[in-house]
């Protein structure tokens, strides 16, 4: 399989971005290719298209399966395993967020809870615990917000995302109307 220049650019970019999202380059490239390819691909096709070893493809596919981002398919008369992405782009985004929450946020919240249960031994411990409580409260709010977003239908989530800067404008307007203190951005605007 020969990749078009557009597909190749997409795949290479996602390989580079993979490390920032918790994947290695190969996993990012595999995921990108499976995302934009219209039909299921087997490990041999993936290896040839990406010019990587079969063993790298196998390890990458196992990682994508562990993240619940790809599905295994079989084709009649063919013993090879074929792979596609597990759902729509919205489904994949939800899965990535859920997996990252499970792998990163949940253990952090658990550790912070344990730290907050211990009695401070001195003033320094007490000050540290205040900051830990702030971090915990922020992460708890983030988790609650994330849980709420994950339950929205994708059409409602899209509407919410399109509101974007409108929400900040509404909050600024509300602040002006209630005589609130202007933000730093408002202070410096002409």
* Cα separation values, 88 from 84, 85, 183, Å: 11, 8, 39
Instruction: Write the Ramachandran bin of 164: left for phi over 0, alpha for psi from -120 to 50, otherwise beta.
Output: left
Print pLDDT tens along the chain (190 aa). 889 999 999 999 999 998 787 789 999 999 999 999 989 999 999 999 999 999 999 999 999 999 999 999 999 999 999 999 999 998 998 898 888 889 899 999 999 999 999 999 999 999 999 999 999 999 999 999 888 888 888 888 888 888 876 787 888 888 888 876 555 555 555 4
The model's pTM:
0.72
Cα atoms in the 13 Å half-sphere on the side-chain side of 6:
2
Helix (H) or strand (E) segment spanning residue 84: strand 78-85
Scanning the structure block, which residue is given the tokens 């196992």?
62
């Amino acid at each position: 399989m020969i990749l078009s220049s557009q597909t190749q650019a997409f795949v290479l970019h996602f390989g580079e971005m993979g490390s920032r999202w918790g994947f290695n380059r190969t996993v990012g490239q595999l995921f990108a290719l499976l995302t934009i390819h219209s039909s299921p691909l087997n490990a041999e096709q993936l290896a040839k298209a990406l010019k990587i070893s079969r063993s790298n493809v196998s390890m990458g596919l196992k990682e994508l399966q562990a993240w619940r981002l790809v599905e295994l398919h079989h084709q009649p008369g063919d013993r090879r395993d074929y792979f596609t992405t597990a759902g729509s782009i919205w489904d994949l985004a939800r899965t990535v967020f859920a997996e990252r929450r499970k792998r990163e946020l949940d253990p952090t919240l658990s550790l912070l809870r344990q730290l907050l249960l211990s009695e401070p031994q001195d003033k320094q411990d007490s000050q540290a615990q205040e900051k830990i409580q702030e971090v915990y409260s922020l992460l708890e709010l983030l988790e609650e917000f994330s849980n709420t977003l994950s339950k929205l239908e994708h059409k409602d989530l899209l509407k919410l995302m399109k509101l974007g800067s409108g929400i900040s404008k509404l909050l600024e307007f509300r602040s002006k109307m209630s005589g609130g203190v202007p933000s730093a951005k408002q202070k410096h605007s002409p």
